Chain A
Amino acid sequence: MITVQHLAKQFMPPRRWFRPAPDPVRAVVDVSFTAPDGHILGLLGPNGAGKTTSLRMLAGLIEPDAGRLAVDGVDVVARPREAMAKMGVLSDARGLYPRLTARENIVYYGLLQGMPRDTAEARATELARMLDLMPLLDRRTDGFSQGERMKTALARALVHDPANIVLDEPTNGLDVMATRALREALRHLSTPAGGGKCIVFSTHIMQEVERLCDSVTIVAHGRTVAAGTVASLLEATSQTDFEEAFVALAFNEAGSA
């Protein structure tokens, strides 16, 4: 269960000498969403809408200026370590250690999560089986393809079997088959058999949302402009095409705001 309420964050651009102080960049103005367990929530928005910044605040990397973030009821700002332990985050930056094998990469994160080594090893094998990584597991990640890297990074984020999963544009750079495999994996994780995880992912691709999400939150210009299921959003905008609905919601709302 992830709750985000009225999140705001602005950045100060670096000051230049002998120039007036620049205006702050308001990356996130007012973002709210709630994702219950066993639910997949899509954070849909155009580039630069504040999705990545919001997710970084959720992961405890940036302190929000205002708003409340809670993971299973644990406040991220007040008790970040506890909150992080309840989350598996696949962030925008998904660098692996090229001189370590995929297994070592995954196990390292398990150890950082405080797992005993043999439990982490067993979990790495389990995740590799689920994500179809088995043949790559003991190879160094140096020559991995985009999809292979993404799978390894995902396994790394899930090593401690978190109840909440946060993914920032997970399908970036993946081909159709890899995207499909990822979608299958996420859907499985959200079912009771897969652990009934709460999954939040950001994307700018409509089809992802249409095919996978239980609910959608549309973010534009740092604000939540609409929320609901795909069907309810279509109904609200009286459109039949989700892309049209998205354009109407994201751009018209932002224009009037």
Chain B
Amino acid sequence: MPEDQLSRVFSALADPTRRDIVARLAVGDATVGQLAEPYGVSVQAVSKHLRVLEDAGLVSHSKDAQRRPRHLEAEVFDLMTKWIEKYRQQAEERFRRLDALLEEMDETEEYPTEQRFSAGDQKGAAS
């Protein structure tokens, strides 16, 4: 299920240690040992976090898992950024229409001070 995979990306990033690891890998590739150093935790613990990141497609691993440096799959982040940006653009388009409407309201409407909060068949229902 695609939704599950996207959720895996988000939930992989929900853990602060994993976000740290990602930040570290964003600077450059690193081995499990190098990644474990700053946390004062076992290589096993870091490996476990890395597995979650790998399952989400955020980090790539090689066959020689102990030695080979881990690599951040920046593409996945680009994709997430694109989704958020697309969502933002759609919201922005909507709000620009609202901007235009607010301007029109200036020009064409002198609305009463007591506002109408209902409409259609509800008109005047509050009275």
A and B held together in a complex: no
Interface residues of A (CB under 8 A from B): none
